[in-house]
């Protein structure tokens, strides 16, 4: 289980595989200077609502992975997440589609 921390105060848990995909999509948007909203469903333990943050090039983000191995990336999931990130509603988690070709490097440039 990994953790995304936003501006030192908002902390949310994602499994390492999901977090790796989010890191790639978020990093690509920020490298391009494209701010966006990111929304996720909160866990039942904290109220079962949803949280939205405004992600921009100067925000402080920390990705904490608890596993020692880099997760295998699914290009189809990266594309699906990037599609939501580029929509008016912003980034949100979508179910992982069937994997096309495995990608193991974070330098994957599907989003170019």
56-109 pLDDT, tens digit per residue, is: 999 999 999 998 888 999 999 999 999 999 999 999 999 999 876 555 554 444
Counting residues of the chain whose pLDDT is more than 70, the rounded percentage is 88
30-39 pLDDT, tens digit per residue, is: 999 999 999 9
Of 69, 61, 58, which is closest to residue 22 (Cα–Cα)? 61
4-62 pLDDT, tens digit per residue, is: 999 999 999 999 999 999 999 999 999 999 999 999 998 888 788 999 999 999 999 99
Query: What is the pLDDT confidence band of residue 112, given thresholds at 50, 70 and 90?
Result: very low
Q: What are phi and psi of 18, to 5 degrees?
A: -65, -45
Mean pLDDT for all residues in the chain: 89
Of 105, 110, 108, 83, which is closest to residue 94 (Cα–Cα)? 83
> Whole-angstrom Cα distance, residue 3 to residue 13?
4
How does strand 36-41 pair with strand 50-55? antiparallel
> Whole-angstrom Cα distance, residue 77 to residue 99?
8
């Amino acid at each position: 289980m990994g953790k995304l921390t936003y501006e030192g105060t908002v902390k949310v848990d994602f499994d390492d595989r999901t977090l790796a995909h989010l890191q790639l999509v978020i990093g690509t948007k920020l490298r391009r200077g494209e701010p966006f909203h990111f929304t996720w469903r909160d866990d039942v333990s904290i109220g079962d609502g949803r949280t939205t943050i405004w992600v921009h090039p100067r925000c402080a983000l920390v990705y904490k992975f608890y596993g020692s191995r880099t997760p295998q990336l699914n290009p189809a999931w990266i594309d699906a997440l990037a599609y939501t990130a580029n929509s008016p509603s912003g980034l949100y988690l979508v179910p992982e589609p069937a994997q096309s070709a495995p990608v193991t490097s974070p330098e994957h440039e599907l989003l170019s």
